[in-house]
């Protein structure tokens, strides 16, 4: 066995270095180059800009607290949630007292006591979930309408229009991107009162 | 459970079956002796001829290559502060953490006691981790090739035989299969929204005027090999749950398919190599039957939801630790795929699965990662169970145990038992130590049975080389960094060495023609026997520990007892 190991040392080191150069340097750099040329928008994080200001990424959720906006799911990423430089989940167990308390405390703000849409009170796996379920959006319409003073039917139509459906009917879930929905909302009624 | 959820699961299984044969044929071309373009020059460059190796020579090459890999990766992680491409200016990694991470990625485990976007430079992610994502996968497939040769070759009956050459196997798999496939996959992932840039982050001002720093990086190139090589180590802390690491349900389907596709294809490579495709289809059928049971239980349990939260007024299934774009079905399917296949990537947090869902993910790993399994590792793993099964069948009906024309004798049985026993010995042994030692008890986030589950899951994941976690466990302590690294190393090479020893012995044996006395190793009866042996060996060994963890947890949650 020792002789075999001794003869293996040179090929082991030279192959390791060669493949490090190929798969660890050349491959990711070449892919970066190709991606930046062919699909710069996606390769740089699908950012949404307003003028030259970046207001977020359409793939990454962000905090909304004002009553005139639809709110995203609770988030465990960072101190205040939706810290896109430190993704994190709660990792709380199904039988956790802390989790039960957290959900119980969040339920009154949803305005309902039964059939509460889970997306309103559960944290996501990433802490950056950009979506809520359509049910979770509908449950917030009354609050948004009251804060903005616009007709409920317009907001309802907006939620329906922003609801994305599963690909081919079974790949994915029905969902609403909160950031995109709120931007549409701002388009139909600017500057919501805080 | 919904109809569309079941469609996703069945379409996924259908696609895997459809891909198995063509992928098996591609792998066969690499397994085959016929030279490939440009490869002679490569072997000249690294100083290793394509000459055949004995099993000892092959094993020595595996060990030298992997130990060198651990040393290089450790060095890169320690020195990332002085190496290039460190736009955030991260410091060198702590020694125990770097040791754990190096062992983790070289053993195809990808257990992560750190959060990627808050710890690692781009250089560490690329030249460190991405490289071992390729090489650990290639090592697994290489060992599987050697194992296939043991059955395919017509031995001289002298007991001495060669099983191929590790350097050619590992080079071929890396450069002629994984690399080109990952280039295509990278482009596909970028098209779906996965970033690929050397920028570290951008600062956004949100609609409500807050500041949001959005971490970026060369994600797609690492994601491609992380799934295809069943590595599972995330670029970001939350792995494939991160919208940048898995933007859509379609990217999610592609990730699940690429986790399974090489492992499934290898069964057909085996069938082709031994001249009977049915031998391969039978192995794949046994794998998929076990898989379907697991995914059904997880999906059912998750869709049934959490009674504690229902009592508060919450509707529907368990969405804590899940993403809306994936929902219950895809998250349950992914959890089954990633734990069955030794991948360890996650799109939902396993710690927050309801207890029976968590039980299946743990049990998948404890069965030894043979349900498709890690690339290569799952294949030689299930063949070791097949050897055990023909032996048991031989005892029952009084026939000489043979598998695919090779006699199974005392040496093979001893080695197979070693390979199988390593798993419970180290999973349960290390769990036992951690549950009595103070630094072990400091780890879990949860109290009660779920806290025990967090520890049991960690060692199951490490020894089985999975890499997923019940994330509540605080693993970045010297105690867990060391014990988990031991588990990962022994779990990997404690299976590879016996597997190669078995291969060396079998390769030298004469291939016997099928006779009236041979036990058929194709067909439904054999699938049932193989699946039963896997379940009985795995089930009996781990049942007591599962009773203390997820099963006790299940009854507590059902009764509304909280911890």
Chain B residues whose beta carbon lies within 8 Å of the beta carbon of residue A1: 56, 59-60
Of B115, B196, B446, the CB nearest to A31: B196
Interval B101-113 mean pLDDT: 96
Residue A192, pLDDT > 90, answer no
Residue B79 is given by DSSP the state T
Mutate to test the interface with A, among B142, B212, B246, B550 (most CBs of A within 10 A): B212
pLDDT at B47: 85
Average model confidence (pLDDT) across chain A? 94
Contact (Cβ atoms closer than 8 angstroms) between residue B327 and residue B290: no
Interval B10-22 mean pLDDT: 97
**pLDDT per position as a tens digit, B41-67:** 889 888 887 789 999 999 999 999 999
Contact A123 B170 (CB under 8 A): no
Interval B111-140 mean pLDDT: 95
Average model confidence (pLDDT) across chain B? 95
Percentage above 70 pLDDT, chain B:
99
Chain A residues whose beta carbon lies within 8 Å of the beta carbon of residue B191: 39, 42
Contact A27 B130 (CB under 8 A): yes
- Report the chain A residue with the minimal C-alpha distance to residue B239: A126
Contact B205 A53 (CB under 8 A): yes
**pLDDT per position as a tens digit, A19-53:** 999 999 999 999 999 999 999 999 999 999 998 89
Interval B431-443 mean pLDDT: 96
| Integer Cα distance of B452 and B429 in angstroms | 14
Mutate to test the interface with A, among B38, B67, B214, B444 (most CBs of A within 10 A): B214
Chain B residues whose beta carbon lies within 8 Å of the beta carbon of residue A124: 241, 321-324
Contact A97 B203 (CB under 8 A): no
| Integer Cα distance of B113 and B96 in angstroms | 10
Confidence of residue B398 (pLDDT cuts 50, 70, 90): confident
Of A19, A92, A175, the CB nearest to B131: A19
Size of interface A-B (CB pairs under 8 A): 391
- Report the chain A residue with the minimal C-alpha distance to residue B70: A16
Of A16, A47, A116, the CB nearest to B72: A16
Which residue has tokens 């859509």? B248
CA distance readout (Å), A194 to A10, A183, B245, B385: 69, 16, 35, 65
Which residue has tokens 């798969």? A23
Interval B389-408 mean pLDDT: 89
As given in the structure block, the two tokens for residue A38 are 């062919």
Contact B179 A22 (CB under 8 A): yes
Contact A107 B115 (CB under 8 A): no
Contact A85 B470 (CB under 8 A): no
Contact (Cβ atoms closer than 8 angstroms) between residue B68 and residue B174: no
Chain B residues whose beta carbon lies within 8 Å of the beta carbon of residue A90: 320-321, 349, 352
Residue B556 Ramachandran class (φ > 0 left, ψ -120 to 50 alpha, else beta): alpha
Give me the residue spans of the domains in chain B: 375-559
Contact B221 A32 (CB under 8 A): yes
Backbone angles phi, psi at B215, to 5 degrees: -70, 140
Dihedral angle of Cα A85, A89, A91, A95, to the nearest 10 degrees: 150
pLDDT at B155: 81
pLDDT at B400: 82
Contact A171 B347 (CB under 8 A): no
pLDDT at B336: 97
DSSP B417-477: HHHHHHHHHHHHHHHHHHHHSHHHHTS-SS-THHHHHHHHHHHHHHHTT-----TTS---S
Confidence of residue B301 (pLDDT cuts 50, 70, 90): very high
The whole-model pTM stands at: 0.96
Confidence of residue B159 (pLDDT cuts 50, 70, 90): low
- Report the chain A residue with the minimal C-alpha distance to residue B200: A85
Residue B408 Ramachandran class (φ > 0 left, ψ -120 to 50 alpha, else beta): beta
């Amino acid at each position: 066995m020792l002789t075999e190991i001794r003869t293996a040392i040179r090929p082991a080191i030279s192959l390791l270095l060669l493949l490090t150069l190929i798969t660890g340097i050349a491959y990711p750099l070449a892919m970066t180059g190709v991606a930046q040329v062919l699909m710069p928008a996606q390769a740089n994080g699908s950012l949404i800009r307003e003028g030259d200001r970046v207001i977020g990424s359409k793939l990454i959720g962000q905090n909304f607290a004002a009553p005139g906006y639809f709110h995203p799911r609770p988030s465990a990423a960072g101190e205040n949630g939706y810290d896109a430089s430190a993704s994190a989940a709660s990792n709380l167990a199904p039988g956790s007292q802390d989790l039960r308390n957290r959900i119980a405390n969040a339920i009154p703000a949803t305005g309902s006591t039964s059939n509460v849409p889970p997306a309103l009170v559960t944290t996501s796996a990433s802490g950056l979930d950009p979506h809520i379920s359509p049910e979770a959006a509908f449950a917030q319409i009354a609050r948004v309408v009251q804060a903005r003073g616009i007709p409920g039917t317009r907001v309802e139509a907006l939620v329906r229009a922003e609801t994305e459906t599963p690909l081919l009917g079974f790949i994915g879930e029905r969902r609403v991107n909160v950031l995109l929905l709120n931007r549409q909302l701002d388009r139909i009624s600017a500057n919501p009162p805080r | 459970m919904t109809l569309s959820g079941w469609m996703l699961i069945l379409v996924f299984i259908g696609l895997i079956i459809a891909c198995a044969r063509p992928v098996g044929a591609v792998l066969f071309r690499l397994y085959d002796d016929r030279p490939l373009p440009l490869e002679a020059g490569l072997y000249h460059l690294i100083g290793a001829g394509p000459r055949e190796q004995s099993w000892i020579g092959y094993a020595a090459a595996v060990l030298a290559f992997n130990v060198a890999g651990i040393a290089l990766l450790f060095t890169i992680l320690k020195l990332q502060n002085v190496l290039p491409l460190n736009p955030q200016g991260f410091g060198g990694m702590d020694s125990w953490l770097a040791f754990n991470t190096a062992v983790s990625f070289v053993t195809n485990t990808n257990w992560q006691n750190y959060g990627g976007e808050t710890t690692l430079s781009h250089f560490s992610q690329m030249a460190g981790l991405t490289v071992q994502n390729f090489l650990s996968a290639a090592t697994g497939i290489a060992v599987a090739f050697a194992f296939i040769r043991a059955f395919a070759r017509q031995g001289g009956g002298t007991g001495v035989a060669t099983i191929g050459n590790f350097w050619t196997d590992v080079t071929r798999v890396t450069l002629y299969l994984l690399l080109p496939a990952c280039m295509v996959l990278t482009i596909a992932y970028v098209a779906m929204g996965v970033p690929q840039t050397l920028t570290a982050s951008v600062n956004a001002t949100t609609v409500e005027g807050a500041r949001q720093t959005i971490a970026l990086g060369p994600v797609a190139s690492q994601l491609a090999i992380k799934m295809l090589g069943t590595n599972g180590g995330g670029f970001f802390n939350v792995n494939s749950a991160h919208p940048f690491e898995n933007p859509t349900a379609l990217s999610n389907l592609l990730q699940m398919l690429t986790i399974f596709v090489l492992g499934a294809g290898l069964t057909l490579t085996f069938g082709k190599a031994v001249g009977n495709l049915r031998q391969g289809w039978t192995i794949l059928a046994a794998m998929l039957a076990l898989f379907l049971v697991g995914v059904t239980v997880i999906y059912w349990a998750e869709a049934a939801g959490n009674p504690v939260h229902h009592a508060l007024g919450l509707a529907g299934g368990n969405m804590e630790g899940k993403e809306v774009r994936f929902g219950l079905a895809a998250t349950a399917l992914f959890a089954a795929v990633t734990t069955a296949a030794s991948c360890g990537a996650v799109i939902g947090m396993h710690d927050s699965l309801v207890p029976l869902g968590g039980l299946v993910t743990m049990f998948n790993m404890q069965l030894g990662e043979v349900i498709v399994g890690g690339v290569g590792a799952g294949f030689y793993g299930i063949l070791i169970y097949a050897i055990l099964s023909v032996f048991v069948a031989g005892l029952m009906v009084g026939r000489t145990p043979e598998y695919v024309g090779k006699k199974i004798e005392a040496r093979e049985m001893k080695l197979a038992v070693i390979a199988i026993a390593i798993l419970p010995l180290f999973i349960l042994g290390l769990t036992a130590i951690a549950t009595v030692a103070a630094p072990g008890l400091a780890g879990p986030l949860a109290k009660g049975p779920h806290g025990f589950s967090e520890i049991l899951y960690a060692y199951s994941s490490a020894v089985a080389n999975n890499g997923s976690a019940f994330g509540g466990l605080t693993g970045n302590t010297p105690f867990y960094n060391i014990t988990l690294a031991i588990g990962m190393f022994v779990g990997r090479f404690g299976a590879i060495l016996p597997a190669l020893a078995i291969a060396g012995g079998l390769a030298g044996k004469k291939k016997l023609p099928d006779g009236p006395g041979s036990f058929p190793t194709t067909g439904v009866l054999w699938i049932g026997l193989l699946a039963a042996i896997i379940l009985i060996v795995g089930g009996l060994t781990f049942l007591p520990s599962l009773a203390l963890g997820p099963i006790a947890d299940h009854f507590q949650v059902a009764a509304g007892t909280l911890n």
